[in-house]
Structures are given as structure tokens and as C-alpha cells.
Structure 1
Amino acid sequence: MFRYIITSAIIILYFSVGAFAQEPDSLIVDFDLAADTTLVDSMASDSMLKEEMKLEDDLNEIFSERMDSLLNSAEFRMRFHFDSTEVHFTDQFPTNIPDSVYIRRLQDVEMAIDLSYNDVVKKYIQMYTERKRGLVEVMLGLSAYYFPMFEETLDKYDMPLELKYLAIIESALNPTARSRAGAVGLWQFMYGTAKSMKLEVTSFVDERSDPVKATDAAARYLKRLYDIYGDWYLAIAAYNCGPGNVNKAIRRSGGKTDYWEIYYRLPRETRGYVPAFIAATYAFEYYKEHNLIPQYPNFSLSVDTVMVNDYLHFDQVVASLEMDKEELAALNPMYRRNVIPAKEDKPYPLILPNNKLMAFIDKDTAVFAYNREKYFPNNTLVNPTTSSGSHFTPVDIKGKDKVVYTVKSGDNVGYISSWFKVRSSDLRYWNNIHRDMIRVGQKLAVYVPQGQKEKYDKINTMSFAEKQQSVGKSVQVAEKKTETPLDPGYVYHTVRNGDTLWEIAQKYAGISADDIMQLNKLSNDRGLYVGQKLKIKRKS
């Protein structure tokens, strides 16, 4: 029985070093001797720029650190098969380029989105072409794989193709990138936004890391934002910080809708977002002029896709096709635990190098049958032991008893570790906990000394105060909250179980999570409780 469906090729890439279109200007211009005072700058004034220059340097560093995270990531090492300490990139390149050259080049780029130029944009151009050259060369190589699919999707929605450069700013073309705030993938979708855009996020599948589906969702989201503002700069800014924050900046600027006129009213990181986009566009259009040489990844750039409709483990494919597991994972970053949880009524894609596709088809059932009882006992998904990330969740630890603890309200990783007398790092390791993020009701595996399981099982039944007392800590009794009388001049929202500020804000047009926090003097979601009445906006 066939357990796959052959699809037409989603990605077949033909590329050359000349794939990036601009012909180089002469590299022998002595930029050190050139003098030019021309500067196109639609921002408020030179004095304002000087006053804010320190802030711009800080913003430059934020994006610089984001790019560094690519080079230091496991995904990068997997895709290029060399350690970041062994990377040797070109070190001869032009510097001190006059503003007039940058201006002319940006004007010569034929794009639907206007490419402004000012001192802020210049700083980002210099970051890409001088300070972070190695990373740009890596991204140039990755773009040979990702940009064709970005362009195909943008063309489908009749959108400017240069929007593909947004992924440079968002993720440095790392499909498994994860921000401190929890945004994931090439296009950095937060969980709530991903679900609203119909992306699947489960224990086994995270379509935020699926290059094809995430790109389609990003294009639809950007198009929606452009329909709101009718301006690509504002749409790009809203993609980063949310339409609520852009609306607030417009209101605080007296209704102005020019990006550079509301620039200083935008959230701090968003101020660097559009300049970084313009600079990335410049760097990729004129990489030859800066002697940047693409570094191509170590996985196949010519691939095809089959749809599988039965459970399949990466190890089954690797063993049957004699291919590299790292390459398979790099081509299929959307599967979180190296398992494709496909069913007859819910097939999933498997991306393979073209030279392995026919072998997969020829071997058919042998691939699915390989060690099937080991990976899928009784043909069920059980004990998912590995993640496609760098963590490993053991099924058992010799010499230890396993206790399952259910997370309660008020718990955190530090508390739980102290109650069970284990290290926080071990608790994170056993449960694939990222950045200490746990949720109420989550089941955590904790390994305790053999013979003491019954003792530690009791922790599940203790109150928070009792658990703290068990490790010699006292608990301060919080004063009972008194309900503040409702102001009849406001619209209110009653908090329900599981509500977040972001989800609440989505229910009210023109309202952002920041607006709600400001009105209700909240610092984050932790201040919420079921039944709480939140001010949303003034009644009209």
C-alpha cells in the first residue's frame, strides 16, 4: 500500500552567483578621497538625529546580536558543517563610501517600495557590508534556497517581491529561530498570531518553521496590514510591533501617516526595523560591489516533496535511504521531534533531495516498516523522546524514580526545583523547558532518588505554602484584592481562564496589548486573574 503522494515540485532551485541582479560599479573608486555632502533625509531634522544617535547605535546592536545568533546556532552548524571559529571570510572591501553613491544605488533599484536614505539607514548598511560581512555571506548562500519560494508566494498575492528581505531582519534566514519573546521561524510568528493565520502548532509540528506555509501566512498578514494603512513602511512597522502600536504612534503624531514623521513615536526596536529592511535590500542588491561572496549551505538546493499519510520517523528515512540525518532535519524544520505525525486523513509533506526521491518511492513500504514497532508501538505515537532542537528528553533514568508533577498557579522552575531538591538545569533538560516557560496544568517529569517516589509524590497534593515550608521558606500572605468600582465611561472586558493580553486586544479594533496594560497599570500577563475587569477603551 502506498503511504505517500507524489506532488509537483515545490522547490526546484537553479542559481548562480549572478542570481542577484545588479551589475557592479567600479570597485577601484578611492572612497577615502571622495567627498560628498549630499544627504536625502526626510526625518525631522539633523539636530534630532544627533540627539538620538546613541539610541540608533543601541538599535544597531540589537539587530547585530540577532544576526550573531545565526552563526552561533545549532541550525547554522548543521547547514554549513563548519564551526563558527573556523569561518574565514573576505576581508578586503570598500569603506568610507560617500552618501551620494548609496543614494544613487538605492534610486537605481527598481522596486515598488521606496528606499529612503538617511544616517540611520547608513548605519545599518555599514553593519551589513562592513561589520557583519561573514553573516551576510552566509545569508546570501541561504537566500539561494529560500528566496525563490518567497518570491513565488509574494507573486501569488501580487505583492512587492522585495518584501522577501524582511526575513533577513526577522530571522537571519534561520527557520528554527526563536526570539526571547517566543516568536518562531523565518517570519517570527508569535503563537497567537500563528494560530490566527491558520498555522499548526502542536507537540510534533510547528508550521511557523515550515518555510512554505509560514511564508504564505506572512504574505497574507502583510497584505492585511497594507490594506489597513495603504503604505508599505507602515505595514512593515506594524508587522514588527502590531497595528495597535502603529495606530498609537499616528495618534500621538497628530494623525501623520508618513513613517519618518512618526518614527520617534514607535516602539524602540521598531524604529530600527524599516531602516534595517532598506539596508538589507541594499546589501543583497549590491553585494558584489562590497566584495561579499555567498557561502552556500551543505544541504541539497534541488529538492522535491512527497506527501506522506502514515507515521514516519526521521531515523526510518535516514536508515532506508542512507542519507544524512542533519540534512533531512534541515530540509524539514517544521517537525519538532523528528516525527511526521501523518494519517490517512491528514497527510504531511516530506522534503527530500531530488537524488533521494526515487529511492524513497522505490522502497515504498520498506521505509515505513523499518523498526516500526520501536518507533510506533501498536502503530501509535508514544514517548516522543527527541526534539529537533538541541534538547533530549529521557524516557527513564537508571537509579532514579520518576515523579510526574502537575504545574500549579504561582509555580516556577526555581520553586519546583527546590521542592524536589534537583537542579533547575536538570528540570529544564528533562522536560525541554525553554527560557523557564511553563504553564498551569503542564505535566513535568522529575527524577528523584530511588525509593523516595512516595515521599515526593505528596508534593502534588500540598498547597504552595506547605511546599515552601518543606524547604524552610515562609510565605507572605497577600492582602485580599478589593474590587475597584467600574468607570461608566469605559468599555470593560472580563478576563476568562487562559486569556492573554494579546488575545484580549485582538477582540477590540484598534487596541493593542500595550494600550490595555497602560490603562490598567499592568506590567505583563501575570497580573491577570479570572473574573478581572479590564479597561479597554473609552466609550464613544
Structure 2
Amino acid sequence: MTRLRYCLSVLLLGLGTLFPGGRAAGQGDTTALAAPDTSATVFPDLAVLDSIVQNWYVSHYLKINEDCLSGAEIPDFPDSVYRKRMESLPTVIKMPYNAEVRSAIDLYTVKMRRGTSYILGLFPLYEGIFVESLMKYGLPVELKYLPVIESALKPKAYSRAGAAGMWQFIYSTGSKYGLAVNSLIDDRYDVRMASDAAARHFKDLYDIFHDWDLAISAYNCGAGNVNKAIMRSGSTDFWKMYPYLPAETRGYLPAFIAINYVMTYYREHNICPASASISPATDTLHIRRNLHFGQLSELCGIPMEELQAYNPQYINDIIPGAYRECVLTLPTHEILATIMGGDSVYTHNIEKYFPQSRARVIDDEMTNRRTYVTHKIKSGETLSGIAARYHTTVKNIKSWNNMTSDKIRAGKTLKIYNR
């Protein structure tokens, strides 16, 4: 079976460009690895873990227990303890213990303890989204920890290679999985959409390799590089092909194994999760008209930085509802204020936020895309009476129905748009 999978992997070498890694596969697939690479293993950029305090949610809602963090002893366990704990992890993906995994564990439990504490406090905010997407496609739930390695759970993470969001999609891979990127929206920053895309990407990678070690490696460096390593090592065993992989990928799987360990056994290492002073429940509104964060902020009293933090996918602070139906995420207690603002939210300072001809174009697009009801005129009804019934104006009804007169006739129908 191993030989068969090896042969299939070699045959699939050309598929590397069809299934690039989520992060920097396009760049990685051109790496020449003719001989084993003896350079030092590069673990994922854990420096980003130290900068996690820049996360808006962390700075506003999470607090480190300094007494716990600074006063706690940093324990040192023998290898036998680590092995036993690894064997007890409830995972489908293999979780071996070796020197590389131990090095990664030490990074999280010794050198980066403060960052790990924040991660433990922040992770519950996103865990449900990750798990829902993975279970939807029948994938191992332990993959939920990969965004910790990829981005330290920073929604606006952006790498030198152009990978964006928590799951670090490059443009080409994101586009393949339906993540739009334009001047107003970047779906790679949308946690729900990116999580769904990442799950589908992992499913495709597993369908190629039928091995989770290889699929995870391919997510990092691309299927092409994994196939090259298979061909040059003559094996589909990750640890046998290890020297033939790019340096960063050699550290990627050990880091994944390590974070699964740390998120389960952090108490044994005397690491305290950052505590949440408030953990706001969120809700969503579906937006079908263009809306600027400034309009929401001014009319509903919602801070701009809060709007940006909960909705990082919208570029230039514009929700392009006229382009497509968009989702606005807010703490539940602020949703009501937005709803109560009604149509006034969209028209508030529209000249300031959507000036000149742009405002007219947007209004045309909004009218074309809004839903409407059809009203059949009854005998004795007047245009003003119908307008009052639907909480609109005679002027609007005439505009929507291309009318030049206020006269109406029983039996005819009128379009009444939802504002």
C-alpha cells in the first residue's frame, strides 16, 4: 500500500500548481531540493505570538494574571511523560513525540508563555467557527488549532508572501475556494468564510495524499513541494522525507503537534489562560446597501475600531452591500441600536461618505438589488394612503414605478421596495 501511494504521489506531482498551499505555495513550489537539506529547522514565525496584544479583542477584553504567570514554576518533564500524554490525546491525526516536537513544545511553554496565555483566552472566541467548518466536511477536529500556528489568531494577519487572514490564504488559493478580493472586500479576513475555504482545501489535499501529515505539510508549502520530497526520499513517511522538505515546513508539523499538546496540557505547565472581563455575544445583520463604518459610528455610537475589529474583511471601512449581500457582525447589545437606526443609517451623511456621482450610482445599484413587495391597488385607495401603510413616501413609490402622476387605478400593481 505504501508503494502504491508513493507511485500515485509521483504521478500527482504535476498537480502541485492545482492545489497550492494556503500560505506561500506559489513561491515554495519552485524551491530546488535535490539533496537533503541540513540547514536548521525553521518553526512558524512565533514572533507573531508575542505581538498578539495588538489584537483588538485581546487589548479590550483579556487580562493576564501576572501573579500566575510570573510566579509560577516552569516545570521540566522527562520524555516518558510527554510520550504518555501524547498517546492520550483524543485525535485522529498521529501525534508522535520526538526532539523536534519537544523543541516546539518548549517554544510555547517556556519562551512564549505570555503569548500562549493570550491564545488560551482568545481561542474560545473562534473555536466554534473552526469546529463547525471542519465537521461540515468530515475532517479531524484537531485541525482547529492550525490558525494558532498560521496567524496567532490575528484576523488581520498578513505575511511577506501576501498570505492573509487567520488561515493565511494567498490570493490564488483563496480565489480557487471562492474568497473574493477587490478594492472593497477581502474575504480572506472573514473568519467564517476563510474557515470554510480552509476546510475544503484540507479535504482536497487529503484526497491527494491520503495522509494527514502530508496534507498538513502541503497546506504550508504546496502539494508540489511535498511530492518532490516524496520522490527524492522514496518514502511517504513524513519523518523519512523530513530532510527533503523546505526548512519552514519541517517545523510546521512539529508545531501543529505541539500546539495540540499545549492546548490540552497547559495546566501541567503552570500556564494560566488570560481571563475575559467581558465575552460579548455577537450577532449578524445582512446588509444589501452600501454602508460606511463612519455612518454607523456617528449615528449609533459604535466605535470605529470596534466595527473594524469585528468586520476585518471590509476594506476602506465600506460594506459593499450593493455589490453583494454582506454580513455585519456586532456585539448583540449593539445590533438593536443599528436596527433602530433603520433607513437613516444608510442616508446619514451620505454626501460625506459616498460623494457626488458615486452616491447616485450606488443608489441605483441598491434599488436594483433590494427586495420588494407587490401591492395590488384596491378601489378607493390613494397613493398617500399606500405610502403611509408601507412607511415610505409618495415620491418613492412614484420613482419605483416610473409614475409621473399621483393618479392610480384599482387592479393595477405597485412595487414597494423594502428600505
Compute the TM-score of the two structures, normalised by the length of structure 1: 0.57
Mapped contact 2:155–2:312 kept (Cα < 8 A) = yes
Q: Residue 77 of structure 1: CA displacement?
A: 5.1
Once the two structures are superposed, what CA deviation does each residue of 1:361-382 show, in whole Å capped at 9, x if it has no partner? 1221121122111101247279
2-structure distance, mates of 1:335, 1:351: 11
Mapped contact 1:142–1:296 kept (Cα < 8 A) = no
1:279-290 counterparts in 2 under 5 A? 279-290=258-269
| C-alpha RMSD of matched pairs (Å) | 2.5
Q: Residue 330 of structure 1: CA displacement?
A: 1.0
Amino acid at match of 2:301: E
- The answer for unaligned runs of 5 or more in structure 2 is 1-36, 361-419
Q: Residue 87 of structure 1: CA displacement?
A: 7.8
Mapped contact 1:184–1:208 kept (Cα < 8 A) = yes
2:347 equivalent to 1:361: no
2:238 equivalent to 1:221: no
Equivalent of 2:52 in 58, 70, 75: 70
Provide the identity percentage: 43
Residue 246 and residue 205 in structure 1: after superposition, are their counterparts in 2 closer, same or farther (change >3 A)? same
Mapped contact 1:331–1:352 kept (Cα < 8 A) = yes
Query: Aligned pair count?
Result: 323
SS in structure 1 at match of 2:46: helix
Q: Residue 292 of structure 1: CA displacement?
A: 1.9
1:15-414 counterparts in 2 under 5 A? 55-56=40-41, 59-60=42-43, 63-71=45-53, 73=54, 76=55, 79-81=58-60, 90-91=69-70, 92-254=72-234, 256-296=235-275, 300-343=279-322, 346-378=324-356, 380=358
Mapped contact 2:167–2:198 kept (Cα < 8 A) = yes
Q: Residue 291 of structure 1: CA displacement?
A: 2.2
Mapped contact 2:288–2:324 kept (Cα < 8 A) = yes
2-structure distance, mates of 1:277, 1:100: 20
1-structure distance, mates of 2:181, 2:144: 23
Once the two structures are superposed, what CA deviation does each residue of 1:62-110 show, in whole Å capped at 9, x if it has no partner? 5332323434x4xx25641499999887121332211111111111111
Residue 86 and residue 302 in structure 1: after superposition, are their counterparts in 2 closer, same or farther (change >3 A)? closer
SS in structure 2 at match of 1:63: coil
1-structure distance, mates of 2:277, 2:307: 11
Amino acid at match of 1:292: I
- More helix per residue: 1 or 2? 2
2-structure distance, mates of 1:260, 1:140: 29
SS in structure 2 at match of 1:306: strand
SS in structure 2 at match of 1:305: strand
- The answer for unaligned runs of 5 or more in structure 1 is 1-50, 383-540
2-structure distance, mates of 1:111, 1:260: 19
1-structure distance, mates of 2:113, 2:168: 23
Partner of 1:528: none
SS in structure 2 at match of 1:247: helix
1:390-469 counterparts in 2 under 5 A? none
Once the two structures are overlaid, the 10-residue window that deviates more, 288-297 or 194-203, is 288-297
SS in structure 1 at match of 2:161: coil
1-structure distance, mates of 2:89, 2:357: 55
Once the two structures are superposed, what CA deviation does each residue of 1:445-473 show, in whole Å capped at 9, x if it has no partner? xxxxxxxxxxxxxxxxxxxxxxxxxxxxx
2-structure distance, mates of 1:87, 1:323: 31
Mapped contact 1:373–1:379 kept (Cα < 8 A) = no
Residue 112 and residue 246 in structure 1: after superposition, are their counterparts in 2 closer, same or farther (change >3 A)? same
Amino acid at match of 1:277: F
SS in structure 2 at match of 1:158: coil
Compute the TM-score of the two structures, normalised by the length of structure 2: 0.72
Residue 85 and residue 137 in structure 1: after superposition, are their counterparts in 2 closer, same or farther (change >3 A)? closer
2-structure distance, mates of 1:82, 1:150: 21
Question: Whose RCO is larger (CA < 8 A, sep 6+)?
Answer: 2
